[in-house]
Amino acid sequence: MNAPDRLTAAADAIERTMAQGLNAVLAYERETVVRQVHRDISGPLAGRAIGIKDNICTLEYPTTCASRILAGYQSPYEATAVERIKAAGGIIACKTNLDEFAMGSSTEHSAFGPTRHPHFPDRVPGGSSGGSAALVASGAVDVALGSETGGSVRQPAAFCGIVGFKPSYGRVSRFGLVAFGSSLDQIAVFGRRVQDVIDVVEVITGHDPNDSTSLAEPPLDVGRPPADLDGVVVGLPVECFPDDLDADVRAACDRAADAMRAGGARLRPVSLPHTELAVATYYVIAPAEASANLARYDGVRYGQRRGADAGREAMYRATRGAGFGPEVQRRILIGTYVLSAGYYEAYYGRAQATRARIAADYRHVFANGVDLLLTPTTPGPAFRMGEHVHDPVAMYRADQFVCGANLAGLPAVSVPAGATGAGLPLGVQLIGSVGADARVLSAAALLASHVAGGQLQ
Ligand code: GLN
């Protein structure tokens, strides 16, 4: 297909998905997609339509973070990842729905309405990057960008039956990614095939002087994935396989482990003793950083303003009270509390110390001969809409297997690994050491090809 036909086909596919009422798309214009053919569309992503989570700044569309406070906000610059995608010939197709400011695990916390699961409309697609996941899973786009602070790409990838990869912290520039928890945030990638994810990751990685935490590394080059897993040591953390683990999730992991063993890998039980503390640690650190990052939405510098005539304090209160939804307000309250004088040491200080222990657990395992870790991605399949939305702690707990990699800055991927008896997709997760992004992606490609070959079914 030539480039204009490709773009027309891409626009048609997005419009078909939009007509299904998934509410996965926050901004799209046929004209914006089709007219990008006038750009020089050559390069490794030539003519590929890419969905962009709406907390990543683009020039093509507004950037709202699915928040009333940024409704209609047009960024004056674009994220480095977006700039690189365009330079590689990629097409910015649409902006995708998310939990407000990427806070959530279901995309039910969007100010613009929840996104539905693409194949099970009474269920959530996961979150917070649920719009990107739903679009990729429904076939509207081949790849999409999401963001990860604590699993927001791997978890929806598992729920929707697709691949989701989070790079090592610092591997992809955060310039133009709206900040949530700056020490955790990374742009991350969805695809139906591992190779599609690799194609995008190779384009968006590499040092960026606009992000002081960006690693001084060249763009990732995964190369040709090896033909087998000969000599690869895969650790199975005992803490991720508790006795009460869901039977379908355990079966998915067993199938993945068998496939890796059949591919030549050696499997070994390992221990990450602080695993149990990961969720509590994450839900202190992420809100603490969020409360500082979201202080900028004060009605003066960005987006919506309310109560401008009532004095400064009243304007802050009116703007933030009306602009932020309940989950964002909850995070700001928790974050402000754990950072406040008198509580700082008891909460934030201890969470920082625990984070260091969690990271040390991983380092210890990787320093002792383990190349990759295999775990479930989620404790169960996609939950029903409304099931957890009024029980934040239950929603937070569902992040137990994913948030460790964010706390430790590790590369990690979720690969589809079959389904429950009712056909709900399940994912398994591979985690590597800092900088082992290529190894994680190569192993994921092999694992996924075993799925395609029927060995995991
Ligand atoms: N579920 C996590 C949270 O609500 C993850 C968010 C994310 O990765 N952006 O904070």
The DSSP letter of residue 20 is T
- Residue ID of nearest Cα to ligand 1 atom 4: 104
- Distance from the CA of 55 to the center of ligand 1, in angstroms? 13
Farthest CA pair distance, the chain: 69
Integer angstrom CA distances of residue 372 from 220, 260, 302, 431:
18, 11, 43, 6
Listed in order, strand segments (DSSP E) in 28-148 are 49-53, 91-96, 143-148
Give yes or no for a contact between 375 and 242, defined as CB atoms under 8 angstroms apart: no
Intervals of CATH 3.90.1300.10 along the chain: 1-274+358-457
Is 171 exposed, middle or buried, given 0-12, 13-18 or 19+ CB atoms closer than 10 A? buried
* Pair type for strands 425-431 and 372-376: antiparallel
Is the minimum distance from the CB of 399 to ligand 1 under 6 angstroms? yes
What sections of 298-435 are H helices per DSSP?
312-323, 326-339, 350-367, 392-397, 403-408
152 lines ligand 1 (CB under 6 A): yes
**Topology (CATH) of 1-274+358-457:** Amidase signature (AS) enzymes (3.90.1300)
Q: Which amino acid is at 410?
A: L
Catalytic positions, written as ranges: 53, 128, 152
Sequence letter at residue 37: V
Rounded to whole angstroms, the Cα distance separating 157 from 133 reads: 6
**Long-range pairs for 334-341: beta carbons < 8 A, 24 or more residues apart:** 334/283, 334/284, 334/287, 334/288, 334/291, 335/287, 335/288, 335/289, 335/290, 335/291, 335/292, 336/291, 338/284, 338/287, 338/288, 339/288, 339/291, 339/292
The answer to whether the beta carbons of residues 299 and 66 sit under 8 Å apart is: no
Distance 105 CA to ligand 1 centre (A): 6
Token pair belonging to 397: 């707990």
Instruction: For the chain, report the end-to-end CA distance as a whole number of angstroms.
Output: 33
Cα 297 to Cα 303: distance, rounded to the nearest angstrom: 8
> φ, ψ for residue 321 (rounded to 5)?
-65, -40
Reported as type and span, the H/E element at residue 247 is helix 247-262
Q: Prior bond to 128 cis, omega within 30? A: yes
The per-residue pLDDT string of the chain (457 residues; one tens digit each, 9 = 90 and over) reads 677 788 898 899 999 999 999 999 999 999 999 887 666 667 999 989 999 999 999 999 999 999 999 999 999 999 999 999 999 999 999 999 999 999 999 999 999 999 999 999 999 999 999 999 999 999 999 999 999 999 999 999 999 999 999 999 999 999 999 999 999 999 999 999 999 999 999 999 999 999 999 999 999 999 987 889 999 999 999 999 999 999 999 999 999 999 999 999 999 999 999 999 999 999 999 999 999 999 999 999 888 899 989 899 999 999 999 999 999 999 999 999 999 999 999 999 999 999 999 999 999 999 999 999 999 999 999 999 999 988 889 899 999 999 999 999 999 999 999 999 999 999 999 999 999 999 999 999 999 987 654 444 3
Closest by CA position to 267, among listed 371, 357, 367: 371
Q: Is 239 in the pocket of ligand 1 (CB under 6 A)?
A: no
Ligand 1 atom 10: residue of nearest CA = 103
